[in-house]
Amino acid sequence: MQDADKNGNTNQTDGPEHSALLGRMLKGEKLALAKLVTSVENDAPFVPEIMEEIYPKTGRCYSFGVTGPPGAGKSTLVDKLIARLRAQDKMVGVIAVDPSSPFSGGAVLGDRIRMQRHALDEGVFIRSLGTRGTGGGLSRATGEVLRLFDAFGMDVVIIETVGVGQTELDIVDIADTTLVVLVPESGDTVQTMKAGLMEIADVFIVNKADREGADKMVSDLKGMVELNDCRETDWKVPVLLSQANQDQGVDEIYKELNNHREFLDTHTTEGERKAKIRRRHFLEILGHRFVKKVEMLAREDERFRDYLEEVQQDDANPYEITKTFFQDEEFARKIFGATQTKPS
């Protein structure tokens, strides 16, 4: 494990180097952007400082998530959508999130991402994110990469996530609009994930229209959407049929994306929406910092080790020990107080 910094704080010696990197990124250098994405992924100690600095430059791009079971055709669809965005001269960033893969960076780009034809396009930046280094904080990392892309000047950021499960639900929460891509074979998924899907989908897509059962799937979903009352919004969730590999039905999907974006702009005030996002960011950052501090204590603090010893005893009660810990002023100071927490 790489522990560049004992305090979970900025490592001073990194200072000039990472601000130079940031400067280069803000000037539009993709290599610098790529390096910063890697830092976010590895949760490098200077990341909070970078984020603080770029935050005022964020909030301009539009983002949408594309989620659905493995092999549904998400990347194929994303590839076609990139082409439409490029035709409008939009600068596009893609984050391909794979909660099941430890790999990141270039490692899985070959197989899973069918967007290579855009890889050499100056106006497209594609990056995959695996779980490695993020320490379970894939959702945090995705949000931070999105903000880096935003500050870099991307007009649109696409977040592709494999699967339909809790991690994906967290991740799609980050995007403005969520497309859920299903295939005629997804019947079981739809049944088990019904409530979850209804909550997250702004647009349903039944891809692989060439397969048997596609029309039935569309009408089933339409029925479910009609009956759905778990969302407080006037947005009517469209259910669209596509055959992404033949570029069929993609224009309609692109149109609905724009409709939803317009809906967001007109139905929630920008201020309201951003206030909500900032509130979520704050809680996320706070939680993450807290966890890092506790991890640091567990590694390095003698007295904290006493707690760890104690909790391992046969008759120990972790709840009771947690209560004692929260009342321990020395640790309150170490966690919330001055930034320098020298191991005792």
Ligand X SMILES: Nc1nc2c(ncn2[C@@H]2O[C@H](COP(=O)(O)OP(=O)(O)OP(=O)(O)O)[C@@H](O)[C@H]2O)c(=O)[nH]1
Q: How far apart are CA 303 and CA 344, in angstroms?
A: 8
Which structure tokens are listed for 325? 């810990």
Q: State the residue number with the nearest CB to Mg ion.
A: 75
Q: Are 38 and 143 in contact (CB under 8 A)?
A: no
Q: Where are the alpha helices (DSSP H) in 55-137?
A: 74-87, 109-112
243 binds, among ligand X, Mg ion, none (CB under 5 to 8 A by kind): ligand X
Closer Cβ to ligand X, 51 or 81, answer by number: 81
Closer Cβ to ligand X, 112 or 292, answer by number: 112
Which structure tokens are listed for 146? 């999105």
Task: Convert 87-104 to b/e letters by CB count within 10 Å (16 or more is b).
Answer: eeebbbbbbbbbbebeeb
DSSP 127: E
Contact between 142 and Mg ion by CB under 5 A: the answer reads no
Q: How far apart are CA 172 and CA 180, in angstroms?
A: 10
Which structure tokens are listed for 151? 């500050």
76 binds, among Mg ion, ligand X, none (CB under 5 to 8 A by kind): ligand X
Count the alpha carbons within 13 Å of 209 in the hemisphere toward its beta carbon: 16
Instruction: Give me the 151-170 binding string for ligand X, x by CB under 6 A, dash otherwise.
Output: -----------x--------
Q: Which stretch binds ligand X (CB under 6 A): 168-176, 228-236, 241-249, 332-340?
A: 241-249
Distant-in-sequence, close-in-space partners of 45: CB < 8 Å, separation ≥ 6: 4, 5, 8, 9, 10, 11, 14
Closer Cβ to ligand X, 158 or 162, answer by number: 162
70 binds, among Mg ion, ligand X, none (CB under 5 to 8 A by kind): ligand X
Query: Residue type at 59?
Result: G
Contact between 243 and ligand X by CB under 6 A: the answer reads yes
Q: Applying CB under 6 A, which of residues 6, 24, 90, 114 lies at the interface with ligand X?
A: 114
Site for ligand X in 184-213 (CB under 6 A): 207-208, 210
Q: How far apart are CA 149 and CA 159, in angstroms?
A: 11
Instruction: Give me the 34-73 binding string for Mg ion, x by CB under 5 A, dash otherwise.
Output: ----------------------------------------
Contact between 75 and Mg ion by CB under 5 A: the answer reads yes
Q: How far apart are CA 164 and CA 162, in angstroms?
A: 7
| Element spanning 142, H or E | helix 138-152
Closer Cβ to ligand X, 167 or 207, answer by number: 207
DSSP β-bridge partners for residue 97 = 129, 161
Site for Mg ion in 99-128 (CB under 5 A): 112
At closest approach, how far in Å is the CB of 144 from Mg ion?
A: 21
Tell me which residue has tokens 């522990």: 3
Closer Cβ to ligand X, 145 or 158, answer by number: 158
Closer Cβ to Mg ion, 112 or 281, answer by number: 112
71 binds, among ligand X, Mg ion, none (CB under 5 to 8 A by kind): ligand X
Tell me which residue has tokens 């497309």: 179
DSSP 339: S
Closer Cβ to Mg ion, 55 or 103, answer by number: 103
Site for ligand X in 68-107 (CB under 6 A): 70-76
Closer Cβ to ligand X, 114 or 289, answer by number: 114
Contact residues for ligand X (CB under 6 A)?
70-76, 112, 114, 162, 207-208, 210, 243-245
Q: Which residues bind Mg ion (CB under 5 A)?
A: 74-75, 112
